[in-house]
Every structure is written in structure tokens, then in C-alpha cells.
């Protein structure tokens, strides 16, 4: 029994060894070899001389993306802030004490509403005096006109006497003395006319001066009441009761928030893409509120320090929910362009420091193409300046230069 067990173990060991080490021979014995041969007979023979693979063992291997241009909206994105449509510091034009109760900041103000009322003092008496002088000046005009008419009548009488004396002396009926007296009377009458005319002019000048004095006094009284130049909100309290306001002293600050403006600064590289009347939108930093409007102003002069151009967008704000000075991300629509979406890692610089990408042509020869970045996104960079279809090297571009032949491996767009 013991010998039989030993022989069985040896036989099992040999069988396992043949199964592992001589498996092809066993498969041939049991017919598997014929099936493999039949399978090999179904494979067509290849002609090694007809298909020749290029030898790329000495070339740099790169990964190439065949990129196709797409139509992309080229809106201009800016960082800006909100600004009141109007803001003015209302100031006093005369010196007086405030006699009105103050209005508190935040109050709604309508155009023409009284904001600060000042003590008139003696200005009313000055106005009455100016009006009295005007009346007196007007009363002198009729008297001056009468004197002018009287002087002209005397001149006419003197001229008649002069003519009569001249005829009489020709006929020998008057003496030379009478003629001289008539001439003197004419001269005196002319002087009287001139004096009366001057007096009339003086009276009329007095009327004009008195009228001007009345206007000054009335304007001075009008300045005592400081009114709102437009409807809006008080940004500060009006001047306190009893405070003395000098010319230029602040009564209150008033702002208008409906409509409200969005103010941003466009770089000079983007300014030609912004036009007046273009649609624009913005997202406010506080609360993420989104608003829309149109471009109402685009500066023609650049800021000397930043080389940017001021742009303003008017947005309705009927509920006054948008405040002055809030940060906003502004987007201004413009005409769409064709661009390529490329990985940011594909961008490189040539020897002159120009930003671009390296391309390969059908002969696998490398070339360099400059480009412009239009927009940066999480999926890649939108660029312009390439043909509609471009074979862009997206890996290995730093190891080759223009004019070098490479061994490209093509990458799918989805990769």
C-alpha cells in the first residue's frame, strides 16, 4: 500500500508538470493545435514590401490637437461700480442765519422743495428803498421831457427872430445890434436844448440804475431760500437751525439714484469693441443682483495713468435698491468672433517673446503662429489669430522649434 501511494504521487506530480510546462504539446495531442492552425489560416498575409512605416525613431514625439474655430460671443467684461446719476452739494450764496428746521438725511426731496431758509434781516428794507428810488427816478423823466420840449420851442422862437432880423438888416430897417442879439438868443436856445436832453438822459440812467438795484435786492432775498435743484435723496442733514451760513457754506448734499449709472474703465485693447447704445449687464457683488441697461457714455480721452477709457451704463432703479458705490462685474455685448478653445498649457513664447502656439502641417513640420487671448475660462483659453482649422501641439511644444520635423500623436478634442 505504501509503495502504491508513492507511485500515485509521482504520477500526479509528472502530470501537473506537463500541464504547466508542456501545455502546447498536450493541446496538440488533444486537437487544439488544428483549431489554432485553422484560425491562423483565416488571417490574410501581409505584404511587408507594400506597407512601409516611416522611421520615427530619431524624431521628437509630440501630441497634436486638431482644433476647429467656433463662433464665440466676444462680450467685454469689466470691473466697475455703481454711481448716482446726479450728486450735488447745495451751498449758500449769501450770509445769514438758518431759521428753518433741518431735514434729516435719507429723506426724499422733490425739485423746488425748500431745504434751508435764511433770516432776511434788513434785506426787505433794502428792497423797499430800491423800489422807492426807482419810483423817484421814473417821476423825473416826464419833467425832463418837458424841459426838452420847452428848450426846443425856445430854440425855434430864437431861430425865427434871427431870420427876421437878418431880413430887416438887408432892407435897412434893423440895426446890426439886433442881429447880434438874435444870434445870441439862438445859441442860448441850442445850449438849453442840449442841457435838457442831457437831463433826460440822466433821468433815464437813474431809472436803469434803480431797476438794477431793485433786481439785486430781490435776488438777495431769493437767495435766502435754498431749494432742491432736482428730486432725489438727502445724503446729509440740512444745515442746523441757528447756524450761520457764509457764501459757499454747505446746506446739504442731494443725490439722484433713479436711474443709476454703472461706471467702468475699458482697456485700450478693448475700447473699439464698445459702442454707444450697446446692451450691457452687471452682477452686483452684494447679493448677486443682476441688472441690465445700455451704454450711454464712452470717453474719448484715456486716463493718463491707466490708459483706460471711462464707460457709463444707465440702469433703471425705481425701487432704489441699488446704492451708490457698489462693486459690480459688468459685461458689455459686442459682435461675435471665431476663436479656438485651447488648453492654457499649449501657449508658449518664441525667441522674440511673442505669445502663440506651435503647429504642425501635413508633413509633420513645426511652425509658430502668434495669437491673441480673447477670454480665459475653466475649460481653457479662447484665442484668435489662427486659421479655421489648426493642428496645435499641446504637449512637447517646448522641445521643438519652427522648421523641425516631429512624430505627432493625435489627440481627440474630448481628451
Same domain, 128 and 218: yes
- The predicted model scores a pTM of 0.54
Structural domain contains residue 243: no
Same domain, 379 and 360: yes
Same domain, 322 and 403: no
Mean pLDDT of 345-351: 91
* pLDDT over 60 at 391, yes or no: yes
Measured over all CA atoms, what is the biggest interatomic distance in the chain, rounded to whole angstroms? Answer: 206
Same domain, 327 and 341: no
Domain boundary among 281, 304, 332: 332
Q: Is residue 63 very low, low, confident or very high in pLDDT (cuts 50, 70, 90)?
A: very high
Give residue 35's pLDDT: 45
Q: Is residue 138 very low, low, confident or very high in pLDDT (cuts 50, 70, 90)?
A: confident
Structural domain contains residue 14: yes
Same domain, 323 and 360: no
Same domain, 157 and 213: yes
Domain boundary among 177, 206, 222: 222
* pLDDT over 90 at 314, yes or no: yes
Same domain, 319 and 342: no
Structural domain contains residue 91: no
* pLDDT over 50 at 247, yes or no: yes
Mean pLDDT of 1-10: 67
Note the pLDDT tens digit of each residue in 179-200.
677 777 778 878 887 887 887 7
Structural domain contains residue 55: no
Structural domain contains residue 15: yes
Domain boundary among 332, 350, 376: 332
Same domain, 324 and 277: yes
The range of the structural domain enclosing residue 137 comes to 123-222
Note the pLDDT tens digit of each residue in 157-181.
777 777 776 776 666 655 667 667 7
Same domain, 201 and 128: yes
Same domain, 215 and 127: yes
Structural domain contains residue 51: no
Residue 282 phi/psi, 5-degree rounding, is -155, 150
Same domain, 341 and 293: no
Q: State the residue for C-alpha cell 435698491.
A: 321
Q: Is residue 33 very low, low, confident or very high in pLDDT (cuts 50, 70, 90)?
A: very low
Structural domain contains residue 270: yes
How many domains does the chain divide into?
4
Structural domain contains residue 77: no
Amino acid at each position: 500500500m505504501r509503495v502504491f501511494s508513492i507511485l500515485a504521487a509521482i504520477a500526479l506530480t509528472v502530470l501537473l508538470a506537463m500541464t504547466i510546462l508542456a501545455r502546447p504539446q498536450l493541446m496538440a495531442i488533444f486537437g487544439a493545435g488544428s483549431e489554432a492552425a485553422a484560425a491562423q489560416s483565416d488571417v490574410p498575409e501581409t505584404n511587408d514590401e507594400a506597407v512601409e512605416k516611416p522611421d520615427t525613431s530619431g524624431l521628437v514625439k509630440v501630441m497634436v490637437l486638431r482644433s476647429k474655430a467656433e463662433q464665440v460671443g466676444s462680450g467685454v467684461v469689466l470691473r466697475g461700480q455703481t454711481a448716482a446719476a446726479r450728486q450735488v452739494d447745495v451751498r449758500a450764496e449769501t450770509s445769514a442765519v438758518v431759521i428753518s428746521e433741518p431735514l434729516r438725511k435719507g429723506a426724499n426731496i422733490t425739485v423746488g422743495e425748500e431745504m434751508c431758509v435764511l433770516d432776511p434781516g434788513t434785506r426787505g428794507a433794502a428792497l423797499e428803498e430800491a423800489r422807492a428810488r426807482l419810483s423817484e427816478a421814473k417821476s423825473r423823466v416826464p419833467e425832463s421831457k418837458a424841459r426838452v420840449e420847452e428848450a426846443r420851442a425856445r430854440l425855434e422862437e430864437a431861430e425865427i427872430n434871427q431870420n427876421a432880423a437878418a431880413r430887416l438888416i438887408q432892407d435897412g430897417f434893423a440895426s446890426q445890434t439886433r442881429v447880434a442879439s438874435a444870434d445870441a438868443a439862438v445859441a442860448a436856445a441850442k445850449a438849453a436844448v442840449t442841457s435838457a436832453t442831457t437831463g433826460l438822459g440822466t433821468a433815464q440812467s437813474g431809472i436803469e440804475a434803480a431797476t438794477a438795484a431793485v433786481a439785486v435786492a430781490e435776488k438777495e432775498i431769493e437767495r435766502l431760500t435754498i431749494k432742491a435743484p432736482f428730486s432725489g435723496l438727502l445724503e446729509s442733514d440740512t444745515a442746523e437751525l441757528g447756524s450761520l451760513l457764509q457764501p459757499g457754506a454747505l446746506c446739504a448734499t442731494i443725490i439722484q439714484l433713479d436711474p443709476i449709472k454703472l461706471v467702468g474703465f475699458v482697456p485700450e485693447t478693448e475700447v473699439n469693441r464698445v459702442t454707444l447704445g450697446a446692451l450691457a449687464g452687471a452682477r452686483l457683488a452684494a447679493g448677486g443682483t443682476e441688472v441690465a441697461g445700455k451704454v450711454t457714455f464712452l470717453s474719448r480721452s484715456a486716463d493718463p495713468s491707466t490708459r483706460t477709457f471711462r464707460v457709463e451704463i444707465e440702469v433703471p432703479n425705481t425701487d432704489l435698491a441699488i446704492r451708490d458705490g457698489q462693486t459690480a462685474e459688468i459685461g458689455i455685448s459686442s459682435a461675435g468672433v471665431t476663436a479656438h478653445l485651447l488648453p492654457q498649457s499649449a501657449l508658449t513664447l518664441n525667441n522674440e517673446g511673442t505669445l502663440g502656439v506651435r503647429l504642425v502641417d501635413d508633413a509633420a513640420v513645426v511652425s509658430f503662429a502668434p495669437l491673441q487671448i480673447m477670454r480665459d475660462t475653466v475649460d481653457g483659453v479662447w484665442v484668435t489669430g489662427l486659421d479655421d482649422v489648426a493642428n496645435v501641439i499641446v504637449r512637447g511644444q517646448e522641445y521643438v522649434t519652427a522648421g523641425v520635423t516631429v512624430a505627432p500623436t493625435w489627440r481627440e478634442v474630448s481628451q
